[in-house]
Amino acid sequence: MVENRVTSVDVARAAGVSQPTVSRAFTPGARVSPELRARVEEAARKLGYRPNTLARAMIKGQSNVIGLVVAYLDNPFYSEAIELLSRTLKEFGYHIIVFTASNDENSVDLAVEDLLAHQVDGIILASVSTTLKLTHEIRNAGIPLVLFNRGQNDPAIPAVTATNYAGGRKAADFLVGLGHRRIAHISGWQGSLTGVDRMRGFLDGLADHGLEPVACVDGRYDRATAMAVTREIFAGPERPEAVFVGNDHMAFAVLEALQHDLGLRVPEDVSVVGFDDVKMAAWRVFDLTTLRQPANEMVAAVVDMMMQLINGKPLERARVEIDSALIERGTTRKRNRE
Amino acid sequence: MVENRVTSVDVARAAGVSQPTVSRAFTPGARVSPELRARVEEAARKLGYRPNTLARAMIKGQSNVIGLVVAYLDNPFYSEAIELLSRTLKEFGYHIIVFTASNDENSVDLAVEDLLAHQVDGIILASVSTTLKLTHEIRNAGIPLVLFNRGQNDPAIPAVTATNYAGGRKAADFLVGLGHRRIAHISGWQGSLTGVDRMRGFLDGLADHGLEPVACVDGRYDRATAMAVTREIFAGPERPEAVFVGNDHMAFAVLEALQHDLGLRVPEDVSVVGFDDVKMAAWRVFDLTTLRQPANEMVAAVVDMMMQLINGKPLERARVEIDSALIERGTTRKRNRE
DNA sequence: CTGAAAGCGCTTACAG
DNA sequence: CTGAAAGCGCTTACAG
């Protein structure tokens, strides 16, 4: 399987021009006479020539590749996001190189180390948390970094998230407004700012109504954990009337535990609210009330920031929050206070 | 945002060695004295040096990057597969650059063109179909190609699939064995060999029992299509007692149409069989009887073939089929013939 | 507009 | 084991 590496020199020889002319013929906007361009193109076609992107990338110091580090690919929100990211970046001439990391520090560090060596033009970290140390390392390497669906304590790090805190508050207001009083929260992973913000907003929202959650447990963005936690919380004597779950992916698991393990009815016995509004949330088997985290708008914002950073423009704002609207569906309903 | 490009020359100067020595210090298995290596490493650390992978790739004529073209990312089978591919290839020192294509010829062609220019070391086409023309173009460029979950009429093209034909037969045997006689098929996209093979196996299986399907329609791997088709097929007077669906992703939609649009009970009124056994199939809301297409084994086979091709070893077999077992769950049951 | 020359940051024979 | 030299396949000033 030997590659028939045809180079610009071969084409030049075949077309009877100099090698730089071949290069120019393949550079959009370079000055070449139509005549020579035609000769070059014909020779190139004949020989099956394709400019070597690697060589070009090396010289120009840019690869037109963006590194994406992602975990939790079983959460459909991220599959959607990858697809959107890939399509949107393509419009700007960029491609995505994907690193799947687990969410431990070490794994993310290794991925980033790899990325830095790969001369990517930018790095997007989605659904993984970074240490400040790592952030600074990326910054020192001079590589644009944008966090997707993760914030960091340093507000200077460019990040795009939903309005997680406000979304949490909305969930609280909504559930209280339905007449619920005994309310539980199965939170997103408390190692992520996203999980923390949603929880804080929710707790503050409850507090405004003089309430405290009857339970508040970390679901770690994991189905099995969410199910186990649900069984525990709802087994007690003072069963919650409602539960706010840190994301849809876990909410589906909570529904399963509620209905199949505990034999409870939703929404008759329990109201359930999720977060994300992934496509599946609208499937009628789930029909999940949830806070919409619009993947397309978030991706657009991420790409926008990335392009600004790559072009050396100052960022208008480092922190972009996309509004999360509450989408009311069938897993919630007004409490009958008989 | 200027990059502080530190090169091997800078490190060489700082360490008081020649530039090639720096290169050797960063090449596993190269001969450098421990003393010089230490000096180089220290200087590199101080300066924040990272070898330029692009330059290395250009020289060696290999990028350690595999191009993946994929469509249908909303089918969770492919998200799983991407994750597995990414992890498995990493073990071999390869990374994935992702191209999402829609399934028209043009889109795939463009993606491949892009890939060829990117000097990827190999190409994996998942869930997209290629023309023979494109296949030959890739082959002419000397780039290893493996099809994932798609076959091609030319049996010489390396491809990994489930035993689609045999799986279709198993579905037929199983449903007939349950006592069903009026059986429908909502097939995978007939533009894909996968969809065609599953259908052919199913039809042949029915024929062995002297049966013909009461309906056989292309679901195009699409939820909306599958639902519309379901409503049509099951609205008629001679309602099918069972349906075999071309993949799980569509089967979930079929279940929704059956239960929510038509008010039918599964499995009491209708038995449903899918194909793939994605993780969701085991969720108890679905509890879908299906044919298992083991993503991990398939990915392992793809990577294995790719590595053989890259290393110039002759392939044992160009066509690998991974056995599809029937997983019996709750959407099927023996027919009551009262 | 076009070619000869230099150079991007590495690796790889080639001497020593 | 180490350095001086050549070269990977391009792009980019620099002359003309």
- Say whether B323 sits in a helix, a strand or coil: coil
B139 by Cβ neighbours in 10 Å (0-12 / 13-18 / 19+) ranks as middle
Instruction: Phi first, then psi: give them for residue A276, nearest 5 degrees.
Output: 135, -45
How far apart are the C-alpha atoms of B103 and B99, rounded to whole Å?
A: 12
Beta bridge partners of B218: B187
- Say whether B137 sits in a helix, a strand or coil: helix
Beta bridge partners of A79: none
- pLDDT above 90: residue A148: yes
How far apart are the C-alpha atoms of B129 and B146, rounded to whole Å?
A: 12
Give the DSSP letter of residue B282. G
End-to-end CA distance of chain A: 77
The residue that leads in pLDDT, A164 or A30, is A164
Q: HSE of B112 in the Cβ direction (CA atoms, 13 Å)?
A: 30
Measured between beta carbons, which residues in chain A are less than 8 angstroms from residue B118? 53-54, 95
How far apart are the C-alpha atoms of B160 and B240, rounded to whole Å?
A: 33
The verdict on a CB contact (< 8 Å) between B4 and A141 is yes
Mean pLDDT of chain A: 91
> Is any Cβ of chain A less than 8 angstroms from the Cβ of B1?
yes
- pLDDT above 90: residue A162: yes
Instruction: For the beta carbon of residue B322, count every other beta carbon within 10 angstroms.
Output: 17
Q: Before A240, cis peptide (omega within 30)?
A: no
Q: What is the predicted pLDDT for the residue at A135?
A: 84
How far apart are the C-alpha atoms of A319 and A164, rounded to whole Å?
A: 13
Residue type, B179: G
Q: Is the CB of B53 under 7 A from strand C?
A: no
Compute the Cα dihedral for A121, A127, A131, A132 and give only its sign: positive
What's the CA angle centered on B310, arms B305 and B313, to 5 degrees?
A: 70
Q: Of B101, B69, B64, nearest to B82 (Cα)?
A: B69
| Residues 43-72, chain B, CB closer than 7 Å to nucleic strand D | 55, 58-59, 61
Instruction: For the beta carbon of residue A122, count every other beta carbon within 10 angstroms.
Output: 25
Measured between beta carbons, which residues in chain A are less than 8 angstroms from residue B50? 116-117, 141
Q: pLDDT tens-digit profile of A55-85?
A: 998 898 888 999 999 987 889 999 999 999 9
Among B1, B54, B63, select the one facing A309 at the smallest CB separation.
B1
Q: Is the CB of A20 under 7 A from strand D?
A: yes
The verdict on a CB contact (< 8 Å) between B142 and A260 is no
The verdict on a CB contact (< 8 Å) between B98 and A99 is no
Q: What is the predicted pLDDT for the residue at A100?
A: 85
Q: Which nucleotide is nearest to A53 (CA to C1')?
A: D10
Among A58, A83, A260, select the one facing B55 at the smallest CB separation.
A58
CA distance B79 to chain A (A): 6
Q: What is the predicted pLDDT for the residue at B116?
A: 83
Is the distance from CB of B225 to CB of B187 less than 8 angstroms? no
Q: Regarding beta strands A215-218 and A271-276, do their DSSP bridges make them parallel or antiparallel, or are they unpaired?
A: unpaired
Q: What is the predicted pLDDT for the residue at B4?
A: 59
> Is any Cβ of chain A less than 8 angstroms from the Cβ of B57?
yes
Q: Is the CB of A36 under 7 A from strand C?
A: yes
How far apart are the C-alpha atoms of A167 and A148, rounded to whole Å?
A: 17
Residue of B nearest to A283 (CA): B256
Mean pLDDT of A207-215: 97
Measured between beta carbons, which residues in chain A are less than 8 angstroms from residue B285? 252, 255-256, 259-260, 285-286
How far apart are the C-alpha atoms of B244 and B183, rounded to whole Å?
A: 8
Q: Of A187, A318, A156, A191, nearest to A251 (Cα)?
A: A187
Q: Is the CB of B20 under 7 A from strand D?
A: yes
Q: What are the residues whose beta carbons fall under 8 Å from the beta carbon of B134, sequence distance 6 or more? A: B108, B109, B112
A253 by Cβ neighbours in 10 Å (0-12 / 13-18 / 19+) ranks as buried
**Which of A32-36, A108-112, B159-163, B193-197 is predicted least confidently?**
A108-112
Q: HSE of A199 in the Cβ direction (CA atoms, 13 Å)?
A: 21
DSSP string for B207-253: HHTT---SEEEE-TT-HHHHHHHHHHHHHSSS--SEEEESSHHHHHH
Q: What is the predicted pLDDT for the residue at B316?
A: 84
Q: What is the predicted pLDDT for the residue at B1?
A: 35
CA distance B269 to chain A (A): 18
Measured between beta carbons, which residues in chain A are less than 8 angstroms from residue B5? 61
Q: CA B115, B74, A99, B194: dihedral to nearest 10 degrees?
A: -60
**pTM score over 0.85:** yes
Secondary structure (H, E, C), chain A? CCCCCCCHHHHHHHHCCCHHHHHHHCCCCCCCCHHHHHHHHHHHHHHCCCCCHHHHHHHHCCCCEEEEEECCCCCHHHHHHHHHHHHHHHHCCCEEEEEECCCCHHHHHHHHHHHHHCCCCEEEEECCCCCHHHHHHHHHCCCCEEEECCCCCCCCCCEEEECHHHHHHHHHHHHHHCCCCCEEEEECCCCCHHHHHHHHHHHHHHHHCCCCCCEEEECCCCHHHHHHHHHHHCCCCCCCCEEEECCHHHHHHHHHHHHHHCCCCCCCCCEEEEEECCHHHHCCCCCCEEEECCHHHHHHHHHHHHHHHHCCCCCCCCEEEECCCEECCCCCCCCCCC
Q: What is the predicted pLDDT for the residue at A2?
A: 41
pLDDT along chain B (338 residues), means of 10: 72 92 89 89 90 89 90 88 92 90 79 84 86 82 90 86 97 97 96 94 98 97 97 91 98 98 96 97 97 96 95 88 97 80
Q: What is the predicted pLDDT for the residue at B225?
A: 97
Measured between beta carbons, which residues in chain A are less than 8 angstroms from residue B283? 252, 256
Q: What is the predicted pLDDT for the residue at A104?
A: 75
Q: pLDDT tens-digit profile of A245-295?
A: 999 999 999 999 999 999 999 999 999 999 999 999 999 999 999 999 999
Q: How many Å does it take to go from CA B31 to C1' D3?
A: 14
Q: Is the CB of A31 under 7 A from strand C?
A: yes
How far apart are the C-alpha atoms of B162 and B194, rounded to whole Å?
A: 9
Among B50, B116, B286, select the one facing A117 at the smallest CB separation.
B50
CA distance B287 to chain A (A): 11
Instruction: For the beta carbon of residue A132, count every other beta carbon within 10 angstroms.
Output: 11
CB-contacted nucleotides of strand C (7 Å): 1-5, 7-13
Q: What are the residues whose beta carbons fall under 8 Å from the beta carbon of A120, sequence distance 6 or more? A: A63, A65, A66, A67, A97, A143
Compute the Cα dihedral for A69, A61, A49, A9 and give only its sign: negative
Q: What are the residues whose beta carbons fall under 8 Å from the beta carbon of A263, sequence distance 6 or more? A: none
Mean pLDDT of A123-139: 83
Among A2, A53, A61, select the one facing B119 at the smallest CB separation.
A53
